[in-house]
Amino acid sequence: MKATETSNYSLTEGGILKKLLLVALPIMGTQFMQMAYNLTDMFWLGRVGSDAVAASGAAGMYLWLSFGFLLIGRMGAEIGVSQNLGRGDKKGALAFSQNSGLIALALGSAFGLMMIVFNRSLIAFFGFREEEVAAEAAAYLLITGIPMAANFVAGVAVGTFIASGNSRTPFILNAVGLVANVILDPILILYLGMGVRGAAIATAISQLVSCTSLIIALFVSKGRPFERYSLRFRPDLAKIKLILKWSIPIGLESILFCFLSMVTSRITASFGANAIAVARVGSQIESLSWLIGGGFGSALVAFIGQNYGALQWQRIHRGTRISAAAMTLWGSFVTVLLIVLGGAIFSVFLPEPALITMGARYLFILAFSQLPTNLETVAAAAFKGTGRTIPPSLASIVSNLLRPPLALLLAGTSLGLDGIWLAVTLTSVMRGLWICVWYLLTSRKVEKKNSCQTQQKVL
């Protein structure tokens, strides 16, 4: 890559809002596509029946769990590449991407093998009363476990592109996979009558298409982060340790969040497959909020990482404030949307009247957690961009540990199923407020500490 091309993606110069949006909008588009993946499955499986939705929902929890392990490699690339590019150290940035890819390959291979070999045992965790639902969910796990290693490595490719300031290429290549999924879903699920297995095959094929394209793009695309990307390198133990130091708290946070959500889902399953189906569809609709927030958060990690490496603290503070304002507007919009139109939106995916009523209550209760959740993504990204991954992860883990016992407690009251949704909202609000306050109390101290260390090095 030529120097002039590299500067086009630099986040250490130029208008802050413009730079953030240039990175954030394609990431948001990618997040929308991920939501579209899931909603496309839900739309067509909803035509098969609520049992099919419940089966894919249970299996989908393990795909969500896999994302926590994927983040260990991806966040290592996002933080390491962005900070080193900010310092002008392209060789160091490349090494962080390569070593992150090695970690991702190992973790992805192990997780995919687990899904293939132990699919029935994993689904047994949910204790489904309907044997057919459990069997279909196990088949979904087996099929989607096949592309898992490629999916993990592709996550590092995405992180590397984003860290360099180029989120447009991952957006385009993920769009190719989405088109494949949209085409294959109705054919496999309904026309060929494969139901849940058809949805799994469509997901696996579309993921392989996107993954292969992303990995190739690191080597040949016009906007690639490095002029030469090589798979032949000597593993750097020091960098691997630093990647793990940064990423394990983030991965552990995601893994525990998913596992605790699985525990909550098991409590939900005691109310029947319909309750799981409502939670599955409702969470996908709600993801309209946190996927967009997450996309903006990823852009902010890259922005802060580059400016942290360049020691541009004023840009860091201004970028954080601008991001907080944007997420306040978005979180408020989604809150109103879910309260006013939640039932109407839900009916598109599960048209049964009884399920629409349950879904509308789910979205109404979860609406009140949207603003704190979106502000949380800003504060957490600000922490991560500077390599301080423990504070947001610790706050998240502690808050999430409270969710299952609170759900069990409230579900045993007259609230019933609504008590579970209320537990999710209360713990989400707690987590968001905690992380935001923690960042506000510590950000200036970290700036002062790093400035002093920099001056000492100069002297």
- Confidence at residue 44, expressed as pLDDT on a 0 to 100 scale: 80
Tens of pLDDT, residue by residue over 399-455, are: 989 999 999 999 889 888 899 999 999 999 999 999 999 998 887 666 666 555 544
**Interatomic CA distance for residues 391 and 398, integer angstroms:** 11
Give the Cβ contact number of residue 245 at 10 Å: 13
**pTM for the complete prediction?**
0.79
Tens of pLDDT, residue by residue over 136-154, are: 889 999 999 999 999 999 9
**For 321-347, b where at least 16 C-beta lie within 10 A, e where not — what string?**
ebbbebbeebbeebbebbeeebbebbe
Tens of pLDDT, residue by residue over 276-291, are: 788 878 887 887 777 7
- Confidence at residue 363, expressed as pLDDT on a 0 to 100 scale: 92
Tens of pLDDT, residue by residue over 346-404, are: 888 777 888 888 889 999 999 999 999 999 999 999 999 998 999 999 999 999 899 99
**Interatomic CA distance for residues 50 and 224, integer angstroms:** 43
- Confidence at residue 451, expressed as pLDDT on a 0 to 100 scale: 55
> With contact defined as beta carbons under 8 Å apart, do 56 and 188 qualify?
no
Question: Rounded to the nearest 5 degrees, what angle is found at the Cα of 382, between the Cα atoms of 377 and 387?
Answer: 120
Question: What are the extents of the domains in the chain?
Answer: 13-454
Would you place residue 456 in the very low, low, confident or very high pLDDT band (cuts 50, 70, 90)?
very low
User: How high does pLDDT run on average in the chain?
Assistant: 86
Tens of pLDDT, residue by residue over 321-335, are: 999 999 999 999 999
Q: Is the confidence at residue 106, as pLDDT, over 90?
A: yes
**Interatomic CA distance for residues 319 and 86, integer angstroms:** 15
